[in-house]
Amino acid sequence: MSLQDIKHSVVEMTPAERFDLAAFLQHLSQKDDPEHQRALDEADARISAGKGVSLDELRKMVGAMNAQNL
């Protein structure tokens, strides 16, 4: 399959399929990046140390950002 074929297929996708494809492509672009892995490791360490936020807190933060059109 050529790049042109792939582009044509993407145009035919639903928005949900394009969203999934975009997430997959982003994953591929970052999976071997040592800096990205380091950031994930640091985030995991913060969460493990109890410095994360609960799902309820996250929902409140997102709601506040949405209210400010951020």
Please list the pLDDT of the chain residue by residue as tens digits (70 residues).
999 999 999 999 999 999 999 999 999 999 999 999 999 999 999 999 999 888 999 999 999 999 998 8
Cα–Cα distance between 1 and 25 in angstroms, integer? 17
pTM above 0.75, yes or no: no
Cα–Cα distance between 16 and 9 in angstroms, integer? 14
Residue 50 neighbours by CB distance under 10 Å: 6
pLDDT for res 70: 80
pLDDT for res 48: 93
